[in-house]
Every structure is written in structure tokens, then in C-alpha cells.
Structure 1
């Protein structure tokens, strides 16, 4: 089996990223984007100012998934990271999401973030909720009926959070 590599995303990755993005948002089950989200909007999401995107690839042949890392807030809240993940449906269930999650937390620490927050995890996205809990995230809030699921109607969304280091070691 070929090795999976995670590296910074480059412009030449965008076509494959766009295909994964389009496929995932079309279902209307896990992301707030609508099916009419444009290529330009997708590009700005993954490559906009201040966005640090990474891709998981298998050799030089196939892009398996991606994540972006940004500050959750500006100013006095910029020590908390935010991230968004997408894994090609054909690559789901084999650990790519876990690899991306672990890589993201390490990149966040390296970039000086002290905690990480996911603002909107769809409650019915059991794969994501389960993964984030296994990686140490807690549901710290429930947004009642905040997501309009294509098949289930209105469902809850979660705010999930975890510290990335011991607060006793944080800078003053």
C-alpha cells in the first residue's frame, strides 16, 4: 500500500479539492454550504487570506482529503484555532480523517494556538462527532435545530472544544 502524506495545499491541488468539496456539499448532510456554492467561493474558503490549508495525498496520484486552519477569533481570542475538514467519500472509514485531525492539532500547536474550537459540527454527522471525541474534543454547546439537513430536516449542531496544551504552561 502506498503511504499517505499530509502537506500544505498548493494551487495545483485545487481541482481535486473542488471535486471533493462539490461532492460533499451536494448531499446537504454535513456542511452549511449549498450546492450552488461557486468555484470561486470554494477557492476563497481554502486559499483565502490567512487560511492555512493542508491536503492528504496517496503518493502523487490521489488527493484523499483536506483541512484548513485559521484563528477562531481575532485579537484577544486568536489563541484558539478553528479548522474545517473534508475527506473524499471514497477514502472515508480508513483513518484519513484521524490522520488529518492529528496533523491539524500538531500544526495548531506549532503555530502557537493553545486550544481548538469547532463552531458547527452537525450532530447527525456521527463519523465526525465520534472522531473528535476520540481526539479529546468535548461538546460544549448544542445549537438546537441549527442545521437544515437535506434528508432529516432541522437537526442540532454542536460546538466542540479542546485544549491543545496545559493552561498552567500558557504565556501570561
Structure 2
């Protein structure tokens, strides 16, 4: 598997699973039902951030976007979001993307990474981030309306770099 910078031409390949994941409504508080062009600015980061893709046998199987969590005096802490094509989940793609983001963030001089909204019922993601050195530093109760579990918490997770 190769992880590389995403190009504008990669967006339709990312959107193929972005739209599925958003329609499921289990992991992101992004608008549902976005068209290809409506969704693009939600995922395709512009500098100083960037978006990468994970490619296996010529197929985009995952993506991550990363950059500063806040501007100005908060720009020393990074953030990131991740998508793995549901057809390829459980194959280590999320871990590879997470490790890539941590390495990129260190190289860019970030002092830490903050995830602002990890759905507490997304057990595989919470487990993965903890295994990569993140800790849940707080949970906003009832902040996410999950289609099966109703109102659940959103973890704020942090990793010092």
C-alpha cells in the first residue's frame, strides 16, 4: 500500500466511500447527502493542511486530512480526520494512515495532535487511537446523534508529539 498526497483528480475516488460513510451516519457529524462538489471542501484540505490517499493496487482505499487544529496561537497543535473504504476495513489501512499523520505532524513541527470529535461508540477508532498514543482527555456528553444508539458522547483525544 502506498500513502501519497491527494490530487484534485483523486477526489472522485475518495468521494466514492466518503459518501457511503457519511450516509451511514455513525462516525462524522458532516452534512448528509452532499454532492461530489458540495463535499469536496469538507475533505480536500488546502495549505497549510493537506489530504493524503492510501492506494492499493491502483485503488484508493483510504484517505486522511490534516493540518492545524486552530489558527494563530493554536496552530502548534494539529488535527486530522480519517476515512477507510468500508470494503477494506480491518486490513491495517487506518493504522497506516494514523502513523503517516503522526509522522507528518512531527515533521511539520506540531507539538501535539487533537481529535475534536471521536464518536465514543466507534470502538475500533477509539482503540486504534489509544494504541497510537492518544488519550481521551474529555467527552462531550450527548453531542452526536447516532442512528442506532441515539445520543452518544464525542471524545476529545490528544497525543503529545
Name the residue aligned to 1:109: 106
2:83 equivalent among 83, 86, 110: 86
TM-score, with length taken from structure 2: 0.95
C-alpha spacing 1:48/1:133, structure 2 compared with 1 (3 Å): closer
CA RMSD for the aligned pairs?
1.1
Give unpaired runs (5+ residues) of structure 2.
Answer: none
- Return structure 1 stretches of 4+ with deviation > 6 angstroms: none
Q: 1:125 deviation in Å?
A: 0.4
- 1:19 counterpart (12, 16, 23): 16
Tell me, in whole angstroms, the C-alpha distance in 1 between the residues paired with 2:8 and 2:76: 28
- Give the aligned length: 160
CA distance in 2, matches of 1:37, 1:158: 25
Per the TM alignment, residue 118 of structure 1 is displaced from its structure 2 partner at its CA by: 0.1
Report what 1:42 is aligned to: 39
State how far apart, in whole Å, the 2-side matches of 1:113 and 1:57 are.
26
Alpha-carbon separation, structure 1, partners of 2:38 and 2:103: 27
Secondary structure of 1:64 counterpart: strand
**What residue number does 2:50 align with?**
52
TM-score when scaled to structure 1?
A: 0.89
Task: Say which one has the larger Rg.
Answer: 1
SS of alignment partner, residue 63 of structure 1:
strand
